[in-house]
């Protein structure tokens, strides 16, 4: 197995290295620091001879809010970078791709839960969402022209141990431990389909196995939890997991944020056997324990 990352400075490099520590020196794993925006040549230079059967493309500049402030950076990384990766795959003759898309492509589509066959022509309300939908269009093009087998997986608010430090659950736990108020954007009624990381990883593994055992594949699936949780309910659940009563600080809605994400997972269940197993309470308990241990480790 080969891993690639550009160590984008969105959050500290040391956190990413710590996340890799458990497998970085495994004899069946190798790692290369590569910037996809440099083009297919950068990938060719980094991986001149490695035999590769399939690519799991998780690389992207992440975050809805920052994309509103830096749209060119997001389109450059997520659209141009993805194009370079696809072109490198074409030149290398690598015929199978698992692409991480996002629930953000649904925008504020009024019909819920969100199905993969919905018309998303005018759905995107952030540059991040537009970049992910553009990525899906690119994979469709390469499937049509070059017979690339593809699964586009729309992830729904993945959380759990090693979560990015800027995301809500991670931020709220830190604030509660520090005795600080929780910012609530809007009236707290916005909702997200929180999906525990182990369930998402199981979906990825099932998608990889499907690709390896089938040909002529082009599928788009939701990898969500099929159970939206309002922001206020999430905050109170985090408070229970941490053992602190939250103090709320209400603020205006942020640009680019959607009202609700809600995954219809019937297709993923039927195609891949995907079935999320982790409740919000169990997932939050695992995250809070990881964050506590991690905070002690970094402090000591």
Distances (CA, A) of 102 to 145, 159, 268: 24, 14, 15
Among residues 275, 149, 152, 132, the alpha carbon closest in space to that of 203 is found at: 275
Question: Of 74, 128, 210, 262, which residue is the catalytic one?
Answer: 128
Distance between CA atoms of residues 183 and 24, nearest Å: 36
Q: Under 8 Å CB-to-CB from 89, ≥6 apart: which residues?
A: 55, 95, 97, 142, 148
- Known catalytic residue at 128: yes
Residues designated catalytic: 128
């Amino acid at each position: 197995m080969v891993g690639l990352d550009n160590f984008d400075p969105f959050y500290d490099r040391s956190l990413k290295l710590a996340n890799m520590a458990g497998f970085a020196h495994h004899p069946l794993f190798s790692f290369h620091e590569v910037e996809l925006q440099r083009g297919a040549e950068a990938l060719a230079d980094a991986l001149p001879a490695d035999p590769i059967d399939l690519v799991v493309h998780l690389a992207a500049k992440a975050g809805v809010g920052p994309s509103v402030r830096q749209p060119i950076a997001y389109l450059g990384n997520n659209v141009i970078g993805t194009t370079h990766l696809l072109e490198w795959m074409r030149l290398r003759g690598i015929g199978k791709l698992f692409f991480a898309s996002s629930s953000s492509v649904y925008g504020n589509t009024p019909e819920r839960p969100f199905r993969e066959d919905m018309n998303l022509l005018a759905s995107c309300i952030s540059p991040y969402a537009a970049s992910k939908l553009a990525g899906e269009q690119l994979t469709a093009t390469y499937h049509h022209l070059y017979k690339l087998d593809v699964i586009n997986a729309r992830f729904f608010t993945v959380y759990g141990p090693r979560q990015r430090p800027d995301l809500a659950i991670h931020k709220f736990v830190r604030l509660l431990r520090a005795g600080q108020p929780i910012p609530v954007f809007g009236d707290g009624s916005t909702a997200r389909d929180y999906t525990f990381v182990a369930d998402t990883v199981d979906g990825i593994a099932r998608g990889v196995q499907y690709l390896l055992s089938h040909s002529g594949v082009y599928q788009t699936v939701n990898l969500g939890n099929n159970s939206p949780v309002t922001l206020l309910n999430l905050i109170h659940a985090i408070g229970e997991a941490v053992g602190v009563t939250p103090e709320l600080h209400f603020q205006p809605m942020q640009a680019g944020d959607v009202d609700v994400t809600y995954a219809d997972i019937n297709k993923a269940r039927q195609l891949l056997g995907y079935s999320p197993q982790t409740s919000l309470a169990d997932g939050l308990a695992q995250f809070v324990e990881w964050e506590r241990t991690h905070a002690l480790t970094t402090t000591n």
